[in-house]
A = this chain, B = another copy of it.
């Protein structure tokens, strides 16, 4: 099978980690019968400064017409308001209808406290529809701005189904003999319907209805209000298996969960639609460490695995995860975000060796 992969490094350390992702794909054993070709695609704040758009239409069209999947690095957000600038990854998720953002947060085998959860974040709506307006308060007290939070039955159903499928798939892996802290599959529905009875209420009801169908009869389903979810995530992270959440809560929860495993530099994600996936590390462009050769490549390399999983290449994905785990459990080749002294290159070479 031959796969064409779009590479969108973006800004900052995105440009240091995406090449690592490419090398991992190139190094995958020929026994897997996978061939990769690559196309470099511009996007990000520097692209915006050069061309006036952060996401050139050509990049979108190339992804749509030529590619099977992609890797996205990170983009810088301007530190002051810049007219016309808008996040390219948020736009890409919508333009390619990548409706699920899947973020596994998992400790390595040697960890003292095992965490093994995955956040399944709705990726197209909620406040991310970015429908905003600003006006003067009628009473003369200054400006007022409003944004729309939109939740649809359709998107809530889709994302709940995805969460259900992922929970079943995880259970299948466990049933095949892989050790796990989870005896039974569990999906936790996150919302704030005690305040947002209609929007989050719709998310909650739709998710519950979706997960109550025959197909998911073997899943346990719970729900949790987002604020207490953050609390319990930190107190009892072992308790979670699959978490399904509207866009913004998913965004916040996944950074929170990343703190539990030691570094954002470890946490991968995949933006998933029907037949397409973009792997994306959860970290940002980290301008403070850019150009120093110390960015952690693990989140990107795991995102390569995740992309492959959603493109149906589970065996290749498993190889990548195992190589990363072995590297991390060695404990000697860690980048500074993990308290180590290794550089990006050393970590990449070690992982390539283990593939």
- Contacts A142-B152, A152-B137, A231-B259 given: A147-B198 contact, CB under 8 Å? yes
Interface: A53 (CB within 8 A) = no
Interface: A47 (CB within 8 A) = no
Q: Which residues of B contact A225 (CB under 8 A)?
A: 77
Closest-CB distance, A292 to chain B (whole angstroms): 20
Q: In the bound complex, how far is the Cα of B255 from the Cα of A81, in angstroms?
A: 30
Closest-CB distance, A57 to chain B (whole angstroms): 21
Interface: A112 (CB within 8 A) = no
Binds B, one of A175-183, A199-207, A307-315: A199-207
Residue-wise, chain A 208-245 has the 8 Å CB interface mask toward B (1 for contact) of 00000000000000000111101111110000000000
Residue-wise, chain A 135-174 has the 8 Å CB interface mask toward B (1 for contact) of 0010001111111111111100100000000000000000
- Contacts A130-B196, A196-B127, A260-B234 given: A152-B148 contact, CB under 8 Å? no
B144 engages A153 (CB within 8 Å): yes
Q: Report the contact-size class of chain A (Cβ under 8 Å from the partner).
A: 35 or more
A195 engages B227 (CB within 8 Å): no
Closest-CB distance, A175 to chain B (whole angstroms): 32
Q: Which residues of B contact A254 (CB under 8 A)?
A: 227
- Contacts A197-B81, A255-B227, A284-B228 given: A149-B127 contact, CB under 8 Å? yes
Interface: A87 (CB within 8 A) = yes
Closest-CB distance, A191 to chain B (whole angstroms): 11
- Contacts A202-B134, A252-B252 given: A146-B150 contact, CB under 8 Å? yes
B127 engages A141 (CB within 8 Å): no
B202 engages A145 (CB within 8 Å): yes
Interface: A295 (CB within 8 A) = no
A142 engages B153 (CB within 8 Å): yes
A195 engages B252 (CB within 8 Å): no
Residue-wise, chain A 305-325 has the 8 Å CB interface mask toward B (1 for contact) of 000000000000000000000
Q: In the bound complex, how far is the Cα of B251 from the Cα of A18, in angstroms?
A: 36
> Of B130, B149, B231, which contacts A146 at CB under 8 A?
B149
Interface: A33 (CB within 8 A) = no
Q: Which residue of B lies closest to A260 (CB)?
A: B234
Q: Which residues of B contact A258 (CB under 8 A)?
A: 231
Q: Which residues of B contact A199 (CB under 8 A)?
A: 132, 145-147
Q: Which residues of B contact A273 (CB under 8 A)?
A: none
Q: Interface on A for B, CB 8 Å cutoff?
A: 77, 81, 86-87, 90, 127-128, 130, 132-134, 137, 141-154, 157, 192-199, 201-202, 205, 225-228, 230-235, 248, 251-252, 254-256, 258-260, 264, 284
7 nearest CB pairs, A to B: A142-B153, A234-B259, A132-B198, A77-B194, A227-B255, A141-B154, A231-B255
Subset of 16 A-B contacts with CB under 8 Å: A81-B193, A130-B197, A132-B196, A132-B198, A137-B153, A141-B153, A147-B148, A148-B148, A149-B149, A227-B252, A230-B230, A231-B255, A231-B256, A231-B264, A234-B259, A256-B256
7 further A-B pairs in the complex, CB-CB below 8 A; given A127-B196, A132-B199 = A130-B195, A130-B197, A134-B198, A137-B152, A143-B202, A147-B148, A231-B259
